[in-house]
Amino acid sequence: MAKVLIAGCGDLGSGVAAELVKNGHEVTGIRRTKAQFPEGVVGMTGDLLSMTDDNLPNVDVVFLIMTPNGRDEDAYRAAYFDTAQVLIRRYKAMVKPPQVFFVSSTSVYGQHQGEWVDETTPAIPSSATATVLLETEQALAAVLPSVTVRCSGIYGPGRFRLLETVLSEKDWEANSWTNRIHRDDVVSALVTLANIAFEGKDLPKQVIVTDQTPVSMWEVKLWLATCLGARVAVKESNQFVPASGKRIQGQYLLSQGWVPRYPSYVAGYHALLREFNATR
C-alpha cells in the first residue's frame, strides 16, 4: 500500500483517487472548494497556497492537478507555479521525496503549422500561459522526482463548450489541427503512471496523453453539427485542409500497455451527446 496526495481533487483528481482507493492505497485529497470526496479518501478543503507544511502528509506519490480561475498569465501562475512551490517547500528535504506527477498541457509545444509532435519534441511555448506551465514543470523537475503529464484537449462528462459553440451556429473560426483526450482516458493514464511508480520502475521526464488521432477542427464540428442538427457555419470552404495547429502523438504510455478507451472523438462524443441532449 502506498500513500498518495492528490493536490487538486476535482473531476480528474477524484477519478484517480477512486481508482487508487479501490486498489488498496491510502489517498489524501485537497480541493479548493466543496467537501465532496470519493469514498475512502481523506479529504481536505482549502487553498493549497495557504496551507502550512504540517497540513500536508508524508506520502510516496503526489499528483498536482490544478485548474486556474482564469485564462490569463496571473491565473495560471497562481494555479500552477505557486502551488508547485508549496509542494517543493514541503517535500524537498525528505530523505526520499515523493514521486510527483504534474498534469500540464500540450500547449507548451508552440508549433502551429501542422507539425508532428511527440515526447522527443522540445517544448517551446508561444504564449504567456504556456510559458508558466513550462516554468512549473522545470521548477518541480529541478528539486523533486517528477513527471510532467502533458494532456491534449480534455473533453468528457459536463464539458459542453464545443457542443454549445456548434449549436450557436456562429461562423466557425479558421480551421486548424486539434488533438483530444477523453477525461476517463486521462484518469486511466494517470493510474497507469502511478502503478509504474509503485513498482519502482524508472519514469520519463515527460509523458504525452492524447487519443493519438489528430483531426481537423472543422471535421469535428461538421460531425457534431450533423448530430445536433445545426447549421454548418462555414464561409470559406477551401479551408477544410488545416493551415495551423499541430498533430500530437505520445508513445510512452502505449509502450507500457495503456490503451485509450476512446481512441477518437467519434468514440468519445457519443456519450457526451446523449448527456448534452438530455439537458436541452
Q: In the chain, where are the structural domains located?
A: 3-156+180-214+247-264
Mean residue pLDDT across the chain:
96
Report residue 243's pLDDT band, with 50, 70 and 90 as the boundaries: confident
Chain segment 104-114, per-residue pLDDT in tens: 999 999 999 99
pLDDT at 116 over 80: yes
Report residue 279's pLDDT band, with 50, 70 and 90 as the boundaries: confident
Phi–psi pair at 271, nearest 5 degrees: -65, -35
Q: Of all residues in the chain, what percent carry a pLDDT higher than 90?
A: 95
Q: Pick 10 or 280 by higher pLDDT.
A: 10
pLDDT at 172 over 80: yes
Chain segment 30-86, per-residue pLDDT in tens: 999 999 999 999 999 999 999 999 999 999 999 999 999 999 999 999 999 999 999
- List the CATH code of the domain at 3-156+180-214+247-264: 3.40.50.720
Q: Return the pLDDT at 241.
A: 87
pLDDT at 235 over 90: no
Cell of 238: 477551401
- The three state secondary structure string of the chain is CCEEEEECCCHHHHHHHHHHHHCCCEEEEEECCCCCCCCCCEEEECCHHHCCHHHCCCCCEEEECCCCCCCCHHHHHHHHHHHHHHHHHHHCCCCCCCEEEEEEEHHHCCCCEEEEECCCCCCCCCCHHHHHHHHHHHHHHHHCCEEEEEECEEECCCCCHHHHHHHHCCCCCCCCEECEEEHHHHHHHHHHHHHHHHCCCCCCCEEEECCCCCEEHHHHHHHHHHHHCCCCCCCCHHHCCCCCEEEECCCHHHHCCCCCCCCCHHHHHHHHHHHHHHHC
pLDDT at 227 over 90: yes
Identity of the amino acid at 89: R
pLDDT at 239 over 90: no
pLDDT at 238 over 80: no
Spatial contact of 38 and 21, defined as CB atoms under 8 Å apart: yes
How distant is the alpha carbon of residue 85 from its chain centre?
20
As a dihedral over the C-alpha atoms of residue 69, residue 75, residue 80, residue 81, rounded to 10 degrees, the angle is -160
pLDDT at 237 over 90: no
Which of 135, 5, 150, 10 has the alpha carbon at shortest distance from 68? Answer: 10
| Cα–Cα distance for residue pair 212/205, rounded to 1 Å | 20
| Cα–Cα distance for residue pair 79/135, rounded to 1 Å | 13
Chain segment 257-268, per-residue pLDDT in tens: 999 999 999 999
Q: Return the pLDDT at 236.
A: 73
Mean pLDDT across the stretch 128-142? 98
pLDDT at 130 over 90: yes
| Cα–Cα distance for residue pair 31/46, rounded to 1 Å | 6
